[in-house]
Amino acid sequence: MPSQTNTLPVEMRVPPALDPGFLPASLYNRTFRQRAAKAGSVPLRLALERADGSVSVFDTVVFAPGTAEFGLNFRYVERIVKFLLWQRGGWKVYVGGPKEIGEHVRAVYAPGGARAFDAEFMGGVYENPFTVVPMDADRVPGAKETTMPLGRHLDGCRVGFDLGASDRKASAVIDGEAVYSEEVVWDPRHQSDPGYHYQGILDSIRRAAAKLPRLDAVGGSAAGIYINNRARVASLFRGVPKKAFEEHIAGVFLRIRDELGVPLEVVNDGEVTALAGSMSIGENPVLGVALGSSQAAGYVDHSGNITGWLNELAFVPVDYRDGAPADEWSGDAGCGVQYFSQVGAHRVASGAGMEFPAGLGLPEKLVVLQEKMKAGDPLAPQVYQTIGSYLGYAVAHYADFYELKHILVLGRVTTGEGGDILVGVAKQVLAAEFPELAARVSIALPDEKSRRVGQSIAAASLPQIGKEKG
């Protein structure tokens, strides 16, 4: 089914049933590179520097200056930079290649530019003014990646928790076996009082700890960006005013650690998803992708370590069409949250004419979709087929930026028969469009035990007992 942007025609072999206008970034970029190679390409090297001095490098090609399609470079490179910023993170971006491209990226990420939100966000995360440096490709700094082991400590009596947008999960774990688990409903995103968050988190930990003979350590996961156990940016706390966030939320886990008097570690929920998958499968690398209230992701490399990357795939572009659905937070179009979350499931379903009772929130609307699936509504399977098609093309896009072997797909959107349809269609996309990738990458849903308990055990395994407080 042909679709196009500018002068690059793209044909999908497994188009989304309910969204034929979707323009996969993976196909667009492949077409771009093929055309550039034929027309005469030149190298482009991008490097992203983070606050700890680590550097990520990405190499590609662009149309050479003077070629008729040189103008196509601007969109292509801007979308690549956007992906890298949210996947790997950075406060300084080096653009090595034709000077017009570097200047374009600098203008786009300047105050008042189209990507000013991203520039301000990254500057805040890494506590440096966001900077774009155009230069010759051969002057771009080399890669300087850092990795570190994550978790896998199963000794002793531990609590593992996971903070979601609609519930808090906590488990009591003894020597790697979950002996108690529970979920408590909460609504953190609309709460401005820091005490609501502090008391809720501590309550879940204490309720689980009460099932243990003693408490040796606590590990947790939550959506957002956490550096050295400090919350930097997190959607769970979006209702807390900025001043109160810095005073009471940024260090909330350090406060809880000191109050409990045991080692405590908290990381992004996607990282724990990938860790749980790695521990379950016994192989690496693993990319975990959770389709929940947003899109969470985490990555464990071929050595079983985590990187210093952000892996915030909710905000990376996967759809390059003009007029793609926009993210309400950043205002950018075609990013993962609109395709791989409850937001995306409802967008697809309602856009196809599926009706939902008035006044329902997104979690309740997802339940309605799942009930329609069970009841045999003919539209419901097409919703999951559509999301599965999105996912297959997105996985091929991710493969340009990650070393991939195992991809675990989980989250509430994948619950029930719809999840099997979703993953099945994603595999069809890879087989039809990217056979070499299909031969070396597996996409799977974890079993129910891994979904419910594996995450909590992995979270509980984060701290090392006996480690001195930082």
Mutual angle of helices 116-126 and 72-87, in 10-degree steps = 30
My answer on whether 159 and 66 are in the same domain is no
State the distance between the two ends of the chain, measured CA to CA, in whole angstroms: 56
Q: Taking a C-beta distance cutoff of 8 angstroms, is the pair 87, 401 a contact?
A: yes
Going from the C-alpha of 369 to that of each of 131, 133, 329, 337, 378, the distances in angstroms are 44, 47, 25, 18, 11
Final residue before a domain boundary, out of 238, 272, 306: 272
pLDDT value at position 271? 87
Residue (of 433, 463, 469, 468) closest to 173 by Cα position = 463
3-state secondary structure of 464: coil
My answer on whether 158 and 214 are in the same domain is yes
> What's the whole-model pTM score?
0.90
Show the domain range for 102: 40-145
What contacts 124, CB < 8 A, 6 or more positions away?
Answer: 232, 233
Going from the C-alpha of 100 to that of each of 7, 103, 276, the distances in angstroms are 20, 5, 44
Instruction: Find residue 160's DSSP bridge partners.
Output: 171, 219
My answer on whether 126 and 194 are in the same domain is no
350 in a structural domain: yes
My answer on whether 351 and 441 are in the same domain is yes
32 in a structural domain: no
My answer on whether 298 and 321 are in the same domain is yes
- Give the CATH number for residue 255: 3.30.420.40
118 in a structural domain: yes
Between CA 427 and CA 422 the distance in angstroms is 9
User: Position 117: which residue type?
Assistant: F
Final residue before a domain boundary, out of 272, 295, 316: 272
| Number of domains the chain contains | 3
4 in a structural domain: no
Between CA 141 and CA 56 the distance in angstroms is 9
My answer on whether 167 and 224 are in the same domain is yes
Between CA 308 and CA 268 the distance in angstroms is 12
What contacts 395, CB < 8 A, 6 or more positions away?
Answer: 404, 407, 426, 429, 430, 437, 441, 443
My answer on whether 362 and 282 are in the same domain is yes
My answer on whether 54 and 186 are in the same domain is no
My answer on whether 288 and 257 are in the same domain is no
pLDDT value at position 469? 44
My answer on whether 282 and 413 are in the same domain is yes
Between CA 248 and CA 220 the distance in angstroms is 18
My answer on whether 206 and 89 are in the same domain is no
374 in a structural domain: yes
My answer on whether 323 and 411 are in the same domain is yes
- Specify the DSSP element, H or E, that contains 28: helix 25-39
pLDDT value at position 7? 56
467 in a structural domain: no
7 in a structural domain: no
User: Position 201: which residue type?
Assistant: I
465 in a structural domain: no
Q: Which residues of 54-63 are buried (b: 16+ CB within 10 A; e: fewer)?
A: bbbbbebbbb
Q: Taking a C-beta distance cutoff of 8 angstroms, is the pair 396, 429 a contact?
A: yes
The neighbour count for residue 254, using CB atoms within 10 Å, is 17
Q: Is 322 exposed, middle or buried (0-12, 13-18, 19+ CB in 10 A)?
A: exposed
Residue (of 146, 161, 168) closest to 217 by Cα position = 161
pLDDT along the chain (470 residues), means of 10: 56 96 97 95 97 96 96 97 97 98 98 96 93 97 91 95 88 94 90 96 97 97 86 87 94 96 92 86 92 90 89 96 92 97 97 96 94 97 98 98 95 92 98 98 80 77 74
Between CA 427 and CA 414 the distance in angstroms is 15
Final residue before a domain boundary, out of 272, 299, 334: 272
H helices of 289-378, where?
342-351, 362-375
pLDDT value at position 470? 46
Between CA 225 and CA 311 the distance in angstroms is 10
Token pair in block for residue 285:
């690398």
Between CA 121 and CA 343 the distance in angstroms is 22
pLDDT value at position 448? 60
Phi-psi label, residue 404: left if phi above 0, alpha if psi -120 to 50, beta otherwise: beta
pLDDT value at position 369? 98
pLDDT value at position 451? 58
